Amino acid sequence: MTEAERQALLDALRAEYAAIYTYGVIAAYASAERTRLVAHDTAAHRARRDSTIDALKAAGVAVPPPDAAYTTPFPVNDPIPAANLAVTMETDTAVAWRAVVENGNSDPIRRMGTDALTECALRLATWQTILGASPPTVAFPGKA
């Protein structure tokens, strides 16, 4: 694993840690009809976290623990800010996974990044649709 791949995967892992934590905040304030969606998205981020940890360990990279807490970029106190927070988190994770794709030198790392970026883009489009964004997608997800 190259240094660029290692750093990109570590950054992606940190983004996944933050997303998992943040989806807890989203769950507390999301509309009741979004409970299943929030649970699904949280599970997807947990699975991606676990596969990233496995890839890092297989490469002999020390895996950092998650932070004890994360700060949301804006106050969340009802369903609309909760949905906006989901958009922000999916955008942030897409940026991190796009960097994995861009820095990946091996097929398995590029595939992992592409799969994760695709998942982020789909979740982002779902939340954008909920918020009424038109169009709900962007041409190049994860582009900073």
CA-angle at 125, arms to 121 and 126, nearest 5°: 120
Sign for the pseudo-dihedral over CA of 135, 136, 137, 142: positive
pLDDT (tens, 9 = 90+) of the chain, 144 residues, equals 899 999 999 999 999 999 999 999 999 999 999 999 999 999 999 999 999 999 999 999 999 999 999 999 999 999 999 999 999 999 999 999 999 999 999 999 999 999 999 999 999 999 999 999 998 888 777 776
Q: What is the pTM of this model?
A: 0.94
Domains annotated on the chain, with CATH:
3-130 (1.20.1260.10)
Contacts of 79 by beta carbon, 8 Å cutoff, 6+ apart:
29, 30, 31, 34
Rounded CA gap, 37 and 44, in Å?
11
Tokens of residue 106, six digits: 């091996």
